[in-house]
Amino acid sequence: MARKKASLPITVIPLELAVNQQEAEIKITDRINKSNELLEITIQNSQQLHDAGKEYAKWDDFNKQLLKRLFTSEELFLEYNRYKGGMSILRGEKSLGEKRNDFTVKVEDKCHRLESIIERLELIPESRELISVNSIQNDKSKNVNYSQIFIVHGHDDSAKLEVARFIEKLGFEPIIIHEQPNASKTIIEKIEAFSNVGFGVVIYSPCDIGGKNKDNPELAGRARQNVVFEHGFLIGKLGRSKVCPLVTGNVETPNDISGIVYTSMDTSNWQIALAKELRTADYAVDMNDVI
């Protein structure tokens, strides 16, 4: 008599947050808000209904992938995916009005499912990996010196001094890297010497001219190579959100770094933009000092 094969144990992956609760809520809420664009689509003929269906599919597919990424297991993704809503069952071909109503019901039902997930977020624990990362980040933030700010610049001394004076006006100490004593140190070693500084300002000015290596190239103003390098180094050291690039004049900026916002110093509101970024980075900025 043949022995019955022993069944393999089933590994159950616990439902945990892969990101913090606030981030998960913001991202899911954003998807709910985007559903309003679907509900506002004009559907007056079959082609418009078809196009609306394609937009819904893109929205729905994004939601599914998002739920997979926000949590450690696919439990809520499966719950969302199998939720069909209250579709009406009619005999024969439905009219355009009935199909339009079904489309609306389908979108609203999916939104209700996302809203239900948001309601339960506070009941879902964070994953061990997330807790560990948060702990490391908290330890780092405890050692940050919130009284100093890096300044990286090219040959535009007036822009450098303007930024430095503004930082001093806010009550902080500007650390102008190129003015630090050499002591046989490289730029990287100078930055590392101030390892606990929590923010950097990079000034892009048209100190050099460059273009593509071809016949009759179109030349454009560019920042010094060391400025671009030090900008990248500070992003790697501090994080993208803690480095503010300022631009003076007509200067070409690196176009292959996604998510970087360059603020022009030629406008009157660059001080406000910088002050807001400093506040976001946990620097104690009094906006009354900006005026």
Q: What is the pLDDT of residue 92?
A: 66
Q: What is the pLDDT of residue 121?
A: 93
The pLDDT tens digits for 154-169 are: 888 999 999 999 999 9
**Contact indicator for 260, 232 with CB cutoff of 8 Å:** no
Q: What is the pLDDT of residue 269?
A: 87
Of 182, 153, 180, 148, give the one whose Cα is nearest residue 167.
Answer: 148
Q: What is the pLDDT of residue 275?
A: 93
Handedness of CA 267, 269, 271, 274 (dihedral sign): negative
**Contact indicator for 143, 137 with CB cutoff of 8 Å:** no
Of 267, 287, 291, 265, give the one whose Cα is nearest residue 278.
Answer: 287
Q: What is the pLDDT of residue 223?
A: 85
**In which residue ranges of the chain is pLDDT below 70?**
1-12, 83-92, 130-142, 182-184, 256-259
Q: What is the pLDDT of residue 1?
A: 53
* Full set of structural domains in the chain with CATH: 21-123 (no CATH), 143-210+219-289 (3.40.50.10140)
Q: Are strands 208-210 and 220-222 parallel, antiparallel or unpaired?
A: antiparallel
**DSSP state string for 214-245:** SSS---EEE--HHHHHHHHHHHHHH-GGGEEE
Per the listing, tokens 């990079």 go with: 202
Question: What pTM was computed for the model?
Answer: 0.51
Q: What is the pLDDT of residue 64?
A: 94
Q: Which two tokens stand for residue 174?
A: 């500007």
Q: What is the pLDDT of residue 220?
A: 78
Q: What is the pLDDT of residue 35?
A: 93
**Contact indicator for 161, 174 with CB cutoff of 8 Å:** no
The pLDDT tens digits for 2-49 are: 566 656 566 667 888 888 888 899 999 999 999 999 999 999 999 999
Q: What is the pLDDT of residue 114?
A: 96
Q: Which residues contact 36 (CB under 8 A, 6 or more apart)?
A: none
Angle 193-284-131 from CA coordinates, rounded to 5°:
75
Q: Where are the alpha helices (DSSP H) in 170-224?
A: 187-193
